[in-house]
Amino acid sequence: MTTAYCVKCKEKNAEMQDAKEVPFKRKGGKVGRAMTGIHAKCGTKMFRILGANA
Ligand SMILES: [Zn+2]
């Protein structure tokens, strides 16, 4: 299960539904990875940046 912070619920480790990995532009032009999805409870879009070394 992927979790992220939900800005609407102000809930940490909120369950992310339909999580998928997307490229994420970092400072300096490097591309990192992030997860995007929706909060299972309220449907708000969530975004989580994955570690650069992942
Ligand atoms: Zn939520």
Q: What percentage of the chain exceeds 90 in pLDDT?
A: 74
> Does 20 fall in a domain?
yes
CB distance 17 to 37 below 8 Å: yes
CA of 29 to the centre of ligand 1 (A): 31
CA of 30 to the centre of ligand 1 (A): 30
> Does 26 fall in a domain?
yes
Quote the longest CA-to-CA distance of the chain.
36
CA of 14 to the centre of ligand 1 (A): 7
Which residue from 5, 22, 21 is spatially nearest to 13, judged by alpha carbons?
5
CA of 28 to the centre of ligand 1 (A): 32
Q: What angle do CA 34, 35, 38 make, to 5 degrees?
A: 145
- For residue 41, the model assigns a pLDDT of 97
Number of domains within the chain: 1
CA of 19 to the centre of ligand 1 (A): 14
> Does 54 fall in a domain?
no
Range of the domain at 44: 3-49
Q: How confident is the model at residue 53 (pLDDT cuts 50, 70, 90)?
A: low
Q: Tokens 């939900």 correspond to what residue? A: 6
Question: Per-residue pLDDT averaged across 25-36, rounded?
Answer: 90
